[in-house]
Amino acid sequence: MTAKKILMVVCDGVSDRPVKQFEGKTPLQVARKPAMDAVARNGVSGTMDVIAPGVIPGSDTAHLALFGYDPYRVYTGRGPIEAAGAEIPLVEGDVAFRCNFATSDDHMRITDRRAGRIRSGTAELATALSGMKVEDVEVIFKEASEHRAVLVLRGPGLDHRVTEVDPHREGEILKARAESPDAEKTARILNAFVEKSYDILSKHPVNKRREKEGLPPANIILPRGAGSLGELEPLPQRFGMKCAAVAGVTLVKGICRMVGMDVPDVEGATGALDTDYTAKAEAAIGLLEENDLVFINVKAPDIAGHDGDFQGKVLAIENIDMMLGRILESIHEEAVVVLTADHSTPVTVKDHSADPVPVAVSGADSRVDGVRAFDEISAASGAIGRIRGMDLLPIVLGMANRSSKFGA
Amino acid sequence: MTAKKILMVVCDGVSDRPVKQFEGKTPLQVARKPAMDAVARNGVSGTMDVIAPGVIPGSDTAHLALFGYDPYRVYTGRGPIEAAGAEIPLVEGDVAFRCNFATSDDHMRITDRRAGRIRSGTAELATALSGMKVEDVEVIFKEASEHRAVLVLRGPGLDHRVTEVDPHREGEILKARAESPDAEKTARILNAFVEKSYDILSKHPVNKRREKEGLPPANIILPRGAGSLGELEPLPQRFGMKCAAVAGVTLVKGICRMVGMDVPDVEGATGALDTDYTAKAEAAIGLLEENDLVFINVKAPDIAGHDGDFQGKVLAIENIDMMLGRILESIHEEAVVVLTADHSTPVTVKDHSADPVPVAVSGADSRVDGVRAFDEISAASGAIGRIRGMDLLPIVLGMANRSSKFGA
């Protein structure tokens, strides 16, 4: 029994609802997509509730489910994913937060939640905060894009169940409160850190300069989205597979890193509508040489969905199809190919929806049902039936001869 | 509403993958099987993850699921099933082990894990061990086939979470360790038992005789597969049904006994390719007179699957079909008939796989979907949809008017 390689292609938000102006069809039903249809035709199809029936998936929770984790168990908040995106490796017991650089007056009232969308100098500001100790807890602090940053508290007796400091609007900042007795220390440390951030940042040369230039100083940190690692055993350890990802969006990259994937930077893979599909295809083909599982996320259909742009979504699908066709040509039938979405982003909704997504899986000796196209309705009559997101990877591992036995 | 009898036929390992050399068909798609197809045609079909999506079922865990138990709750290890097979009734708190009679040198190093595949004298050796006390724990020990045996520890404060003593190869025996603080006592008793087994067996006349004959003495016991009973309420108590089984394989017989089935010996039912299908049919017909549920396991397709023998599997299927035809003729439409597999054993894999299995259920007033054949692909479009193994028996009980109501 030879273990096969796995290619998983997630067309972000591609799943949709029928649109009256387009003959009651979905973008997937309108697009010309020979490669996607070939995956459906040569394998088995189904529909999938990525989180659970009637639950609208977030991009973060959806990808955790697609990677075989129960999002209700491993997802405690956005912080750890941002930390992974910023390449801060977390250890057990860490509590991570998304943060904003913000502007406060002398009375700890927020006057600008994004410090004038500060773009430069955040690295120096972060350095001034990172490495400090509050009680016996180490502070790791790193800037991210624009006004964003990541805070990690590391030390004994921490717990992520604290309320947010960020008031989510101008005005008084909030004091973090413990939502569990175990989190009292974390709340205390977090509040002390926020105060210290003001003491340190308000005197920082970067801010003195900004004030001279009439810009709001980035003189306080607003943490939110506290989370800890959860019991997330990375894919390589869990399944003995080398895994890599091709993704443009920071959030998706963060999740991929968190689950143990190698995430090389691919030039031109922007996570936008203008992403370089050929570059993605070539990157995936290269990664398939060295890895057991290669994951690709293409964000474009989701963006078109959020924009309510039916034609844009059709175009994104046809671009992904060309990318997929190029990869399929190169791998022949040697890998198990999985094609799906992380959630629906119907153009009529302009946001994520709870509609199940189509899924198709093919491989050299996979069963073949009668489904001949990859779309929301065709997939629903396939042999996979209706599954949950977290069951997908186990099913695919089974088809790739990578499962383990329970019992004797 | 009259409660109906139930006939459940498990074609062991019959489920498969398409095979290129046979026009991309599975053995079930090639075999001539009018009786099986009649069950599909006259009832409803579906596919089934016997344990869970992407999990390869063992024969033991699979049958527990088919009998309506959650294998993750009731299966702690192979020991209790072996105990049931050896007809040692377990009580709550017992910890049971599969054992080998093995050969050790003077320094507790194993020189032969099977004591030269000892065939005679094991009953006398077992008697010399059974009934002893280690601290306040009673030892029940019984020989099984060839070098195999069963150990049951009975007494207060035992727990099955101990590591194995059997090193699974020649060399130093392992000391059992507790995997939970609750299992410290069990580990201590188990290690003491193994030492005592050497003291007693190495002096035993059976072994003195073997040594004279130049055979390796069966002078030590190697326990493994520790398990305790789990919360397994037998089927007769759980559902108020009298149940019986026709099976040739010891393991399956053990599970059937464990869940409260009567398991008469059927002459010619060998659990091998040459099993007497007519004898099985007649036995089942006889048992259906007196019982509410009759279960048949036929091992032959699994054996052909392990051998990678497509034609052999087709033949096994056609033989089972004849057996089933004979039974259907006799019971007319009076019973609900369930046809399925415990797992896939694809001829291309030569081992169990995680691929879902087909299931078909028919009865006089059952719903009828459009499925006209019993095979992996046809079943997937049936009205049952995709279910888990442990949901099958409740569904069948419902169709047989044997369910109970929740609520008013």
Contact A398 B61 (CB under 8 A): no
> Which residues neighbour B282 within 8 Å (Cβ) at sequence distance 6 or greater?
B326
Is the pLDDT at B229 greater than 80? The verdict is no
What's the rounded mean pLDDT across residues B91-119?
93
Residues A270 and A301 in one domain: yes
Tell me, yes or no, whether A20 and A143 share the same domain.
Answer: no
Dump pLDDT digits (tens) for A95-147: 999 999 999 998 889 999 999 999 899 999 999 999 999 999 999 999 988 89
- Over the stretch B324-357, which tens digit does the pLDDT of each residue have? 999 999 987 789 999 999 999 999 999 999 999 9
∠ CA B144-B145-B151, rounded to 5°: 25
Q: In whole angstroms, what is the distance from residue A254 CA to residue B123 CA? A: 62
- pLDDT number for residue B341: 98
pLDDT digits over B245-255, tens only? 999 888 898 89
Query: What Rg do the C-alpha atoms of chain B give, in angstroms?
Result: 23
Q: In terms of Cα–Cα distance, which of B294, B306, B290 is closest to B261?
A: B294
Q: What percent of chain A has pLDDT over 90?
A: 82
Domain C-terminal end among B228, B244, B275: B228
Q: Do B55 and A394 touch (CB under 8 A)?
A: yes
Cα nearest neighbour of B352 on chain A: A405
pLDDT band at B291 (very low <50, low <70, confident <90, very high): very high
- Are B245 and B386 part of one and the same domain? yes
Q: Angle at the Cα of B256 (from B255 to B262), degrees rounded to 5?
A: 150
B127, part of any domain: yes
pLDDT band at B268 (very low <50, low <70, confident <90, very high): confident
Residue labelled with tokens 């010891």: B250
Q: Where are the alpha helices (DSSP H) in A171-309?
A: 184-202, 205-212, 235-239, 250-258, 277-290, 300-306
**Residue range A350-407, pLDDT digits in tens:** 999 999 999 999 998 899 999 999 999 999 999 999 999 999 999 999 999 999 999 8
The span from the CA of B119 to the CA of A401, in Å, is 37
Task: Give the model's pLDDT for residue B134.
Answer: 96
Helices (H), A116-230: 122-129, 184-202, 205-212
B340 contact A CB<8A: no
- From B335, B357, B356, B339, select the one nearest B44 (Cα to Cα): B339
Residues A224 and A275 in one domain: no
Q: Do B62 and A407 touch (CB under 8 A)?
A: yes
Contact B58 A406 (CB under 8 A): yes
In this model, does residue A34 exceed pLDDT 80?
Answer: yes
* Statement to judge: residues A107 and A197 lie in one domain: yes
Which DSSP letter does residue A216 get?
P
Model confidence pLDDT, tens digit, residues A283-326: 999 999 999 999 999 999 999 999 999 999 999 999 999 999 99
Same domain, B190 and B236: no
Domain presence at residue B248: yes
Contact B195, B202 (CB under 8 A): no
- Give the residue from A189, A212, A228 where a domain finishes: A228
Q: What is the mean pLDDT of chain B?
A: 94
The pLDDT tens digits for A98-107 are: 999 999 998 8
Quickly list DSSP for A36-51: HHHHHHTEEEEEEESS
Which pTM was predicted?
0.84
Same domain, A246 and A383: yes
B47 and A CB contact within 8 Å: yes
Instruction: For strands A5-11 and A293-298, give the pairing.
Output: parallel
Any CB–CB contact under 8 A between A91 and chain B?
no
Check B51 against A406: CB less than 8 A apart: yes
Residues of B in contact with A407 (CB under 8 A): 51, 57-62, 71, 75, 78
Query: Residues 6 or more apart from B198 whose CB is under 8 A from it?
Result: B104, B108, B219, B220
Are B71 and A370 in contact (CB < 8 Å)?
no
pLDDT at A191 over 80: yes
- The answer to whether A399 contacts chain B (CB < 8 Å) is yes
Residues B96 and B83: their CA atoms lie apart, in Å, by 7
What's the pLDDT at B14? 98
Locus of tokens 């996320």: A297
Tallying the residues shown for chain B, one arrives at 408
Structural domain containing residue A118: 81-228
Q: Do B348 and A367 touch (CB under 8 A)?
A: no
What would the pLDDT profile of B379-405 be if each residue is shown by its tens digit? 999 999 999 999 999 999 999 999 999
Q: Is B344 within 8 Å of chain A by CB?
A: no
Q: At what angle do helices B59-66 and B250-258 cross, to 10 degrees?
A: 40
Q: Which residues does chain A have within 8 Å of residue B251's beta carbon, measured at their own beta carbons? A: 408
Is the ipTM above a cut-off of 0.90? no
Q: Assess whether B206 and B240 both reside in one domain.
A: no
Task: Name the pLDDT band for A150 (thresholds 50, 70, 90).
Answer: very high
Residue B215 is assigned to a structural domain of this protein:
yes
Calculate mean pLDDT across residues A226-251.
90
Residues B114 and B222 in one domain: yes
Chain A residue closest in CA terms to B380: A383
> Considering B196, B228, B260, which residue would you say is the last residue of a domain?
B228
Q: Do residues B173 and B276 share a domain?
A: no
At residue B28, the pLDDT reads 98
Write the single-letter amino acid at A216: P
- Read off the pLDDT band of B372 (50, 70, 90): very high
A337, A385: one domain: yes
Contacts for A121 with CB less than 8 Å, ≥ 6 apart: A206, A209, A210, A218
Number of domains in chain A: 2
- Per-residue pLDDT tens digits for B296-307: 999 999 999 999
Distance CA B139, CA B152 (A): 6
For residues A134-151, one letter each, b for 16 or more C-beta atoms within 10 angstroms of the residue's C-beta and e for the rest, the string is: beebebbbbbbeebbbbb
Confidence (pLDDT) at B89 = 83
Residues of B in contact with A401 (CB under 8 A): 349, 353
| CATH code (residue A359) | 3.40.720.10
Nearest Cα residue in chain A from B53 = A395
Q: How confident is the model at residue A33 (pLDDT cuts 50, 70, 90)?
A: very high
Beta strand B293-298 with B243-246 is parallel
Q: How far is B348 from chain A (nearest CA, A)?
A: 8
Among the partner residues B17, B59, B349, nearest to A408 by beta-carbon distance: B59
Residue B119: inside a domain, yes or no? yes
Q: Is the pLDDT of residue B194 over 90?
A: yes
Question: Any chain B CB within 8 A of the CB of A366?
Answer: yes
Could you tell me if residue B405 is inside a domain? no
Note whether B49 and B167 are same-domain residues: no
Please write the tens of the pLDDT for every residue from B205-218.
999 999 999 999 99
